[in-house]
Structure 1
Amino acid sequence: MSEHPPPRRRGGAARAVEGEYTLRRATAAAAVGNVAEWYDFGIYSYLAVVLSRVFFPDAGPWAAVYTLGAFAAAFVMRPLGGLFFGPLGDRIGRTRVLSATVVLMAAATVLLGLIPSHGAIGAAAPVLVLVMRMLQGFSAGGEYTGALTMVAEYSPDRRRGLFGSWLEFGTLTGYTLGAGVSAAVIALLPDDDLLAWGWRLPFLLALPLGVVGIYLRLRLEDTPAFRQLMERSPALATMPLRRALQILRVRYRRALLVAGGVVVAWNITNYVLTNYIPTYLTSTLAEYGETGAETATSTALQVVVMVAMLAVVTSLGRLSDRVGRRPILMAGSIALVVGGLPAVWLLRQGLAGQLGGLLLIGACLVCFAAVAPSTLPALFPTLVRYGGLALTFNVSVSLVAGTAPTVIAAATTATGNLDWPGYYLVAAGVVGVVSVLFLTESAGRPLAGAAPLTSSADLPPPARDEHGVPLEPPREE
């Protein structure tokens, strides 16, 4: 059972108080579920070179493009997943919807790992891969924005940046785990075994990870903000989807645009680093006579960068509670504008240059990853927070960011210009700068539509009499 200390007043204004243990358990449930979700979603990209040989063996130089195209297909479904899960989460609650998204993602990932190869069933194999990727995308459309919503609504106002950064700690852990497992399989298995069955092992690991995520989320009740909303207006549980969309379009148009811009800058950087760069290093550079990297080396470099990001992401989140969200987001955006192309040039300078280039991109990315989880939910009120985030996040990712690896691969193949990843990073930085200029600072402030929230750990100790017995707190009027 969770703790629900009584409401307190500060300067005459009622505020909600949540138990510290409940807050940490909610953050852990969101973060661990995120580990499972993004491990599942990310391993496809780390195994892309292997999967191109399994499912597109006759495609020649376009095999990488087709493989990344199947990756991009997941983003076709993300807006639909957001449209389904987001408004549903605003009506029936965050935790039940988030449990469903983990179930769907784990099932689709395990099934992907069981698909026969192209040699066994021909063209049906890549078609089945496409279907499973689309199911993963449908799940991801509701997962991440729901986790953002849950953590933000459980976080104390003064520490929302710190708690939100733990969500991205889970995301990065999922990506790192996926990269590590993929690297181990590639390094330890002979090539024939890898192509025959070894590539399936990382996908099958999704099952136990998913079970843990589901267990943690099902044990958690809904957020303080959602409970407050339902107590005030229980009829909102039946609010039609059309009405929710109308509220967003009419009242929160600016919030949709600002959130979309931050999402584009953040996720272009993310998908260039985690989904395109592995292919760029292992196959694209070699095709043009440049110094690339072996698959195991490329994956190891990804792990190093992810670990470095893990080491600083929560510290940046804590810092944003003191200095604000906007300075850190602006720093990441400007760094992309200035360092996007140099980072890509470094990738063509041997092992040391590759590590330097990846670390530079990772430094830009961690500025968004640490702060965006506490920034984006503050743009919308409780009434439409999950739905507003789900729609703007997934539309922005699907139209621009998630397709970046495929577009970059196609543009590079068509033109022979190896600087395309850098062009994308610079453009992402420009979008980020403009978006942050229009962003309202939210650090330390209550979420719209919810009472100010604090943790029981942040409250002063109760007054005691001369015998050390706590005095009864004053009654609320």
Structure 2
Amino acid sequence: MSFGEPKFVDAQSIYFGKRRLRLKDVRIVRKDALRRAVAGTVVGNVIEWYEFGVFAYLITVIGPVFLPKADPTVQALYLYGTFAVTFIARPLGGVFCGWLGDRIGRRKVLTFTLLLMSVATFATGLLPGYAEIGLWAPALLVFLKLLQGFSASGEYTGGATFLSEYAPDRKRGFYVGFMGSSYLGFAFGAGLVAVLQVTLGEGAMQSFGWRIPFLIAGPLAAIALYFRYRIEESPAFSAVLKERSEEAQKTGELRENMGVVEVIRAQRRFILPVMGIAAAGNVIAYTMTSFTPTYLNQTLGFQGAQGTLVIFPLFVLAAFATQFFASLSDKIGRKRILFIGAALGILLPIPAFMMMGSGNLWGAALGTLFIMVCATLFSSSYASALPEQFPTESRASALGLAYNLGNAAFGGTAPLVVAALIGVTGNVMVPAYYLIGAAVLGLVSVFFLKETSRRPLNGSLPNVETKDEAQHLVQTQDANALIDRQQMPLPYAAFSRSPDGTIVQLPHDDLAVQRAASEAGISLEAITVTR
């Protein structure tokens, strides 16, 4: 517990700091509400990332549909460019969805992002090809991918923020680790495309089969929206909304949430490190999820569905590995997991891509597995570590801005950049070097993050699982290194140090306390909120 400079009143040393936690301050997480929150986030996450990812597995199929006169390399570059275009919308979507989430709530924004993604995906399945409408076909495809990018920017950061605020502090990594269900969405997409390629054949896939994965988005969205509507707003942000309402009743004015410039100014210490981690993790992740299938088929000469079949089981494994590493981060710390991921991201890409180039499926699978390990170490920990860097009042805005800027600049462009570099250099090992560079950036960024495992969120009161845990936390708060009341929305109180060194909280009506508070310009009644 930290205090300011003491005020000496009548020879008594008085310190000011946030008042002690009381039992009623500590939130006991309702298990039924937590289960619904996890289910709503996971189901929506799986379906949204299925919709986002399925495009990458159809690149070699739909290239002739939208650019029939171009050679396969140009088709792939165009479609990778279309994929990269989605990330142009990411920063804008991240800022808007983050601002909206900090204004009206996380739950409503998550419903909005899911609906927008599903509409754009379903519409993609209805698009006429180049043969029907000429250049309008690729132009409309780019527009729909922009809508997907806008939506995806709010889905991941919104979901991570939502689960971070819902989960008990000691198990936050475990619960936020369910964001790794995005790999199940990628697996579903890869598996469906592989089945269609095997059963329909190349001609039927280019004629109508490519539309099926996109059209399935309609009924899938209905299922996901049902689960999303059943979840409640996160308790941490509900408290922020309540505090704003009470303040408005007293002052007659509703406090606005922070704008972009204010967020950057207030959170500049962590904006760049979060961007660096997001860039590194997503370069590795999108290389695995979106670039590898086409790389195996088009660059290394694998046939048909082979490239997709290699990564399908690895996506399923990645979802479970993410959950394991996320739970481990609750025990050994977020930064340690991120550090290991970055270190392996430097060491493994070269042997991984050498194995992929060995010419056999087992070598390709093992090489892709190496990349998967690096990707899951990043995604398992940063899903909880990055939201934890920012205060509740502006968490969605700050995370949406920082994460999506890093992702847009490096992550989403990774498939396009490495494909272009392979075309220019003829060197199939270029992706390995690009991944190493990203991992170095991630390694440096880790050192600038604060360790947040098992601690209450900045700007929120503690979340626990049981009443016994709450009582123990209140009783041991002064000696608990994980508790920092200065970051909690609590009113100030006066303290003094007794002869035996014990810190004693003083009553507000003590005349000496009132005089010292007046001199220090401190209100002992107002709840101070970290922004």
TM (normalized to structure 2)? 0.81
Q: 1:16 aligns with which of 27, 48, 51?
A: 27
Question: 8 Å contact 2:44–2:114 — kept in the other structure?
Answer: yes
Matches within 5 A, 1:309-388: 309-350=318-359, 351-388=361-398
Question: 8 Å contact 1:332–1:365 — kept in the other structure?
Answer: yes
Q: In the alignment, which residue of structure 1 is the partner of 2:195?
A: 184
Displacement, 1:45?
0.2
Q: Distance in 1 between matches of 2:467 and 2:199?
A: 48
* Residues 1:268 and 2:280 are matched in the alignment: no
Displacement, 1:312?
2.2
Q: 1:126 aligns with which of 124, 138, 156?
A: 138
Q: Distance in 2 between matches of 1:374 and 1:238?
A: 30
Displacement, 1:191?
1.9
* Residues 1:439 and 2:454 are matched in the alignment: no
Q: In the alignment, which residue of structure 1 is the partner of 2:309?
A: 300
Structure 1 stretches of at least 4 aligned residues deviating more than 6 Å after TM superposition? 9-13
* Residues 1:402 and 2:415 are matched in the alignment: no
Q: Distance in 2 between matches of 1:460 and 1:446?
A: 12
Q: In the alignment, which residue of structure 2 is the partner of 1:467?
A: none
* Residues 1:50 and 2:65 are matched in the alignment: no
Q: 2:240 aligns with which of 218, 225, 229?
A: 229
Q: Distance in 2 between matches of 1:216 and 1:396?
A: 30
Displacement, 1:333?
0.4
Q: Distance in 2 between matches of 1:41 and 1:71?
A: 9
DSSP-derived class of the 2:348 partner: helix
Question: 8 Å contact 1:378–1:447 — kept in the other structure?
Answer: yes
Displacement, 1:231?
1.7
Displacement, 1:320?
0.9
AA matched with 1:419? M
CA distance change for structure 1 residues 382 and 174 in 2, over 3 Å: closer, same or farther? same
User: CA offsets per residue over residues 152-198 of structure 1, 9 Å max, x none?
Assistant: 00010000010011121x20111110111111111110222111110
User: CA offsets per residue over residues 66-87 of structure 1, 9 Å max, x none?
Assistant: 1111111111111111121110
User: CA offsets per residue over residues 362-398 of structure 1, 9 Å max, x none?
Assistant: 0111101211111011011111101111111111111
CA distance change for structure 1 residues 387 and 249 in 2, over 3 Å: closer, same or farther? same
Question: 8 Å contact 1:19–1:457 — kept in the other structure?
Answer: no
Q: 1:167 aligns with which of 170, 179, 202?
A: 179
Unaligned runs of 5+ in 2: 1-19, 472-531
Q: Distance in 2 between matches of 1:87 and 1:199?
A: 36
DSSP-derived class of the 2:309 partner: helix
AA matched with 2:332? V
Q: Distance in 2 between matches of 1:457 and 1:111?
A: 50
Q: 2:70 aligns with which of 44, 59, 64?
A: 59
Question: 8 Å contact 2:26–2:470 — kept in the other structure?
Answer: no
User: CA offsets per residue over residues 408-454 of structure 1, 9 Å max, x none?
Assistant: 11111122121211111101110111011122111000001100001
Structure 1 or 2: more helix by fraction: 1
Q: Distance in 2 between matches of 1:200 and 1:282?
A: 21
CA distance change for structure 1 residues 444 and 196 in 2, over 3 Å: closer, same or farther? same
Displacement, 1:460?
8.7
DSSP-derived class of the 2:305 partner: helix
Displacement, 1:208?
1.7
Q: Distance in 2 between matches of 1:164 and 1:358?
A: 25
Larger radius of gyration: 2
CA distance change for structure 1 residues 211 and 457 in 2, over 3 Å: closer, same or farther? farther
Unaligned runs of 5+ in 1: 1-8, 286-291, 462-477
Q: 1:215 aligns with which of 226, 236, 239?
A: 226
Displacement, 1:91?
0.4
Q: Distance in 1 between matches of 2:42 and 2:32?
A: 15
Task: Output the aligned Cα RMSD.
Answer: 2.1
AA matched with 1:349? S
Give the count of matched residue pairs.
Answer: 447
Displacement, 1:293?
1.4
AA matched with 1:352? W
CA distance change for structure 1 residues 344 and 238 in 2, over 3 Å: closer, same or farther? farther
Q: In the alignment, which residue of structure 1 is the partner of 2:481?
A: none
* Residues 1:278 and 2:293 are matched in the alignment: yes
DSSP-derived class of the 1:380 partner: coil
Give identity over the alignment, percent: 39
Question: 8 Å contact 1:340–1:425 — kept in the other structure?
Answer: yes
CA distance change for structure 1 residues 413 and 458 in 2, over 3 Å: closer, same or farther? farther
Q: Distance in 1 between matches of 2:350 and 2:390?
A: 35
Displacement, 1:246?
3.2
* Residues 1:195 and 2:232 are matched in the alignment: no
Q: In the alignment, which residue of structure 1 is the partner of 2:164?
A: 152
Q: 1:72 aligns with which of 84, 92, 96?
A: 84
Q: In the alignment, which residue of structure 2 is the partner of 1:468?
A: none
Displacement, 1:233?
2.1
DSSP-derived class of the 1:441 partner: coil
Question: 8 Å contact 1:19–1:456 — kept in the other structure?
Answer: no
DSSP-derived class of the 1:189 partner: helix
Q: Distance in 1 between matches of 2:302 and 2:57?
A: 14
Question: 8 Å contact 2:464–2:470 — kept in the other structure?
Answer: no
AA matched with 2:133? I
Displacement, 1:239?
5.3
User: CA offsets per residue over residues 35-76 of structure 1, 9 Å max, x none?
Assistant: 111000000001111011211111113111011111111111
User: CA offsets per residue over residues 110-141 of structure 1, 9 Å max, x none?
Assistant: 00011011122211111111111011111112
